[in-house]
Chain A
């Protein structure tokens, strides 16, 4: 068993002992008169238990979170120091290589030309002169530049290989080579290198490859790792025992154990809520940072992203687009999302609202007690099941029906089938929330309407619904935000094509579908294509956040009015 697990168990046992010790001690101090104590004896027990367990467990937790990164940093620092001769040799060889100098000069020249051509192109554009020639030149220059960069990279690779071969075939040599390899690697490669080394050394998952350098790096980690493990384990145990002893010494009849314990409880609760908030914040920040990387990759043409009409992240469509980043105009996605959401709402709002009205105003209590839970079961159906339903049942049916009506181009994956099924999925949200707000309308308003001689439907239409309207609007907004964020149904039923269309029988794509498609399959998280998923996610997040805020505000207002 892992030493940390054993220590954690030992700490729990110590904590329990601390509790018993505290309670015993308190009773002893009070000499059989519990009323002489400031707090109940068990509070003294809790107090000592907290001092025994909390600091030690915190230390152990800190080790669990940061211990391995510490080991990695120390190990790789050590190896890089041992690689110093290799690094020096490599840099010397590189600077002495005539090819390297020629290539670098060529690269510099091409960069200058690119800059000049781009300026000329910009001027021609502003002057509304011919731009085709410039664009062709720019395309060719870009290709040239890529060639030269590749050549430089190859040369570096060769020299590095030659330098590494000069290290001896001993343990020290492997360690130096490992440090050298790590030093040369790009950041994401470095992470992979460490992950592989750890996998080899500690059987943490499967290494993507096994090389002598990785073996050496892994072996170098082992002593650090065990040093940390044992010292942290020892420190945690010592801390627990120390805490127990110290806290036991504190116990006296006048000691305010209850207040201390309450204080600790409130701190712990506060800490957990902070964790929840920080996690959310972390997610948002990571979205923001990745989006910034994306916008940098498309050269800050944010307006093009937000208002561009062409979405094809795979292919470069214009020759002057540097690095062939593809077209990132997200309007087709926004439009597709909007179309499907509108269709879904056309289903969910009437059905949900009317069933809520029926359940809260018309149905007998007996029917209500059966129907309401049944309706809420709809909310529990996994969305992937709805997806199946849309793809295998509703889609083909709609297609057949459209063909029958004479629309020959109908497809199975259409906005309509996804929207309809999503609408069904959202019905319970609308109905359950509306039902709540309708029930919150005070009975006195209904009585007032009935007493005026209103019929049931008049009372509902003219008094109850207007009174509940803000709450219902809030419910609908929440449902909209739910529809916009829904993924599985649209992935399965709406199709992948980024068509900009208002025809519900065509296949459209949504923000969520694109995020799924961009991120799955491609592991490299640095291309503009993959990064665009984060920008889309940011848009999605902002949109739903705004909707939720507005919706909750509206509902809140409504509550205030009737309380």
Chain B
């Protein structure tokens, strides 16, 4: 488990949060305030308020259908792409309102990258997959710069050594674990501030999973990561903060060690000990 420095326990927790991120030594990157999401009549997320620390890994856990993915999608406004989804409440990134009319979701998504459960490389070459974001956002002035971005992104994703000599092969020709690292490289190529990962390892074998976990730990230095996972062990291994969702509500949120060793809520206790799920 990653080390957590407890600096200041006096600070007041916000909303359902038991520990303000400041208490674990980070500053707040993403702050949500009363976020609710409805799909038509169905309420998928109820009034979620939480502060997510910067340069740390925050894990979202909870039984299937409890709204974890919905919560992630609320942060980069991916719910906009779903016809009947209605979002209310506020999401602040660095104090800036995400749901504001003036915010262009295209620009927002350049700042908030996302990695999905199933690796979804585009039907393009490995190079083009990574270069995709920089291209559509006009981040590279010329070819050399683009080459540089692709190389550093692949290196950061720990994939460079494996694909350096076959950048022109289709992205789909890689193995599942490599594909997942490819889409992580694709996400970090636009240099986002926040990376959302929705069950990034659920389609991978243990070795590939270990690779991704290692990568997540490295990425923590530069990025704010929010990951959804069904594996308690994974949450315990890679995250510094853990949020437990149940039936669309945030039940408990705090430092991972705290949540796993000393949960305050009975439901959290039951879930992490596998008594329901």
Contacts and interface: CB of A to CB of B under 8 A. Distances in A.
A451 B114 contact: yes
Nearest to B172: A561
A467 interface: yes
Contacts of B123: 445, 463, 466-467, 469
Contact of B137 (A450, A453, A462): A453
B259 interface: no
B118 interface: yes
Interface string B128-159: 00001100110000000000000000000000
Interface string A449-462: 11111110010001
B116 A458 contact: no
Contacts of A463: 122-123
B75 to A, nearest CB: 11
B190 A451 contact: no
B107 A453 contact: yes
Interface stretch (B76-84, B213-221, B232-240): B76-84
Contacts of B110: 452-453
Interface string B47-85: 000000000000000000000000000001010010100
Contact of B136 (A442, A446, A458, A466): A458
A454 B106 contact: yes
B187 A452 contact: yes
Nearest to A444: B120
Contacts of B76: 451
Interface in B253-273: none
A444 B118 contact: yes
B190 A449 contact: no
Given A453-B133, A453-B136, A448 B116 contact: yes
A231 interface: no
A460 B122 CA distance: 12
B122 A449 contact: yes
A452 B187 CA distance: 7
B124 A447 contact: no
A450 B109 contact: yes
A468 to B, nearest CB: 9
Interface string B147-186: 0000000000000000000000000100000000001001
Nearest to A364: B83
Most buried by B among A447, A449, A452: A452
A463 B120 CA distance: 11
Interface residues of A, number: 22
B187 A450 contact: no
Contacts of A444: 116, 118, 120
B113 interface: yes
Interface residues of B, number: 28
A453 B120 CA distance: 15
B120 to A, nearest CB: 4
Given A365-B83, A463-B123, A466-B122, A451 B113 contact: yes
Contact of B120 (A364, A445, A561): A445
B83 A462 contact: no
Nearest to B137: A453
Most buried by B among A365, A445, A469: A445
Chain A residues touching B, majority SS: helix
Contact of B124 (A446, A454, A458, A466): A466
A467 B172 CA distance: 11
A442 B120 contact: yes
A451 B184 CA distance: 12
B186 A452 contact: yes
Most buried by A among B120, B121, B133, B187: B120
Contacts of A448: 116, 120-122, 183, 186
A450 B120 contact: no
Contacts of A462: 122, 132, 136
Contacts of A561: 172
Interface in A357-391: 364-365
Contacts of A453: 105-110, 133, 136-137, 190
Contacts of A467: 122-123
A364 B76 CA distance: 23
Interface of B: 76, 78, 81, 83, 105-110, 113-114, 116, 118, 120-124, 132-133, 136-137, 172, 183, 186-187, 190
Ranked 9 nearest A-B pairs via Cβ: A451-B114, A453-B109, A444-B120, A448-B120, A467-B123, A453-B110, A466-B123, A453-B106, A452-B133
Interface of A: 364-365, 442, 444-455, 458, 462-463, 466-467, 469, 561
27 contacts: A364-B83, A442-B118, A444-B116, A444-B118, A444-B120, A447-B81, A448-B116, A448-B122, A451-B76, A451-B113, A451-B114, A451-B187, A452-B110, A452-B136, A452-B190, A453-B105, A453-B190, A454-B106, A454-B132, A454-B136, A455-B106, A462-B132, A462-B136, A463-B122, A463-B123, A466-B124, A561-B172
Given A448-B186, A450-B109, A453-B190, 13 more contacts: A364-B83, A365-B83, A445-B122, A445-B123, A448-B183, A451-B76, A451-B78, A452-B132, A454-B136, A462-B122, A462-B132, A466-B124, A469-B123
